[in-house]
Chain A
Amino acid sequence: MRTKKWAVERTRTIQGLVDFIKKFLKLMASEQLFIYVNQSFAPSPDQEVGTLYECFGSDGKLVLHYCKTQAWG
């Protein structure tokens, strides 16, 4: 389990986060990665992480889940 930390500006979008994680996991551009809050909702790609943190964070933390499975086809 790797727990390296990175700084991210509050204005970074979900799409920006997805691109970062895809690079980190060495996924191809055409592979899909989705991010979820509460394991029940995928914020839109242009949503800012700062807003998500304010709405859904608690105890100074916001937990997001990611999923690499193809979502259509």
Chain B
Amino acid sequence: MRDGAGRRPERREEEEEEEKEEKERRKRKRRRSARADLQFSLQVSCSMAGGEEFFLDEKRFKQCCEDFVKHSQQIGDGWEWRTSKDLGDGYLSKTHFQVRNRHIPPDLKEKNSDNTEQMLFAHIEEPLDDSQAAGVCSTEEVVRYEYHVLYSSSYQVPVLYFRACFLDGRPLTLDEVWGSVHASYQDRLQEGPWDTITQQEHPILGQPFFVLHPCRTNEFISAVLGGSQERHRHTNYIILWLSTVGPVVGLNLPLSYAKLAPEQSTDADLAE
């Protein structure tokens, strides 16, 4: 039996199904466009030749640190200013704990734990896939990081010192520290590990700390600010510098520090 248009009833049902699906597809597409991709364009420009060099004097260092700590307290980011009694110098300090997973294959579980620690450090960053999931025992490893920001009068820039140890007190070796540098910086690190992170005596505490080399700091700060000191007198040098170099050694600044920049401030922002 056929209907007026000459189609069989089953065909009509199929067509109705198709129409329904098409409507669903259009609805989904509209929903997707509501959260559409962003568009971006890239303006490539040359850096300004002969730009002014940006030196940080100690007074400005202390002021930037003060503003930095104030904001840290507001958002509970854990930074504090410490002074040494005899030297009268001060520095920023923050301690935080990072949890990392270590994957221990079952056949190595029974062996001496010290050995496995040495052998397995290289596996720390590997993702756990299905083939490994069965029969893999994963232990969490907590590393305590302590970061200090000191002023270097010879370079006239801030310097990042840090140390890291496991919860049992064992300090990380230089190799382990290099191994924990963010993946995106590993290529640069392979080229010149010794001019990136080295071990030095903390100028105030006199204890061994790792240091992120400061000799290029002035260069990149000047490149970013690329202009008169006057125009950028409100920029917090510590925030600019620490947000750039911190991620290399596992230190990330929350986005809210960026709101301290005066250009973006409105009364509504300040009222938050």
Binding site for B on A (CB under 8 A): 1-10, 15, 17-19, 21, 24-25, 29-32, 34, 36-47, 49-53, 55-56, 65, 67-73
Q: Is the CB of A39 within 8 A of B248?
A: no
A18 to B190, CA, bound (A): 19
Kindly list 8 other residue pairs between chains A and B, CB separation below 8 angstroms, not including A3-B42, A31-B188. A29-B187, A30-B188, A36-B240, A39-B235, A40-B232, A40-B239, A69-B219, A69-B223
B interface residue count range (under 10 / 10 to 19 / 20 to 34 / 35 or more) = 35 or more
| Among listed B90-98, B140-148, B253-261, interface-contacting one | B253-261
Assess whether B137 is interfacial by the CB under 8 Å rule: no
Chain B residues whose CB sits within 8 angstroms of the CB of A70 once the complex forms: 216, 219-220
Chain B residues whose CB sits within 8 angstroms of the CB of A73 once the complex forms: 192, 195-196, 213, 215-216
Those 6 A-B pairs whose CB atoms lie nearest each other, nearest first: A41-B258, A44-B252, A38-B261, A42-B243, A7-B37, A30-B187
Task: Report which of A1, A10, A38 forms a contact with B263, defined as CB distance below 8 A.
Answer: A38
Q: Is the CB of A10 within 8 A of B35?
A: yes
Chain B residues whose CB sits within 8 angstroms of the CB of A46 once the complex forms: 252
A24 to B41, CA, bound (A): 12
B1 smallest CB distance to A (angstroms): 52
Binding site for A on B (CB under 8 A): 35, 37-45, 47, 182, 184-185, 187-188, 190-192, 195-196, 212-217, 219-220, 223-225, 232, 235-236, 239-240, 243-248, 252-253, 255, 257-261, 263-264
Q: Given A5-B39, A9-B37, A49-B38: A39 and B245 within 8 A (CB)?
A: no
A44 smallest CB distance to B (angstroms): 4
A41 to B30, CA, bound (A): 35
Chain A residues whose CB sits within 8 angstroms of the CB of B220 once the complex forms: 34, 67, 69-71
Most chain B CB within a 10 A radius of its CB, from A8, A9, A15, A42: A42
Q: Is the CB of A42 within 8 A of B244?
A: yes
Q: Is the CB of A3 within 8 A of B38?
A: no
Chain B residues whose CB sits within 8 angstroms of the CB of A19 once the complex forms: 184
B70 smallest CB distance to A (angstroms): 16
Chain B residues whose CB sits within 8 angstroms of the CB of A1 once the complex forms: 43-45
Q: Is the CB of A40 within 8 A of B236?
A: yes
Q: Is the CB of A69 within 8 A of B216?
A: yes
Question: Could you show 14 A-B contacts with beta carbons less than 8 Å apart?
Answer: A1-B45, A2-B43, A9-B37, A10-B37, A29-B187, A37-B258, A39-B225, A39-B235, A40-B236, A40-B240, A41-B239, A49-B38, A67-B223, A68-B47
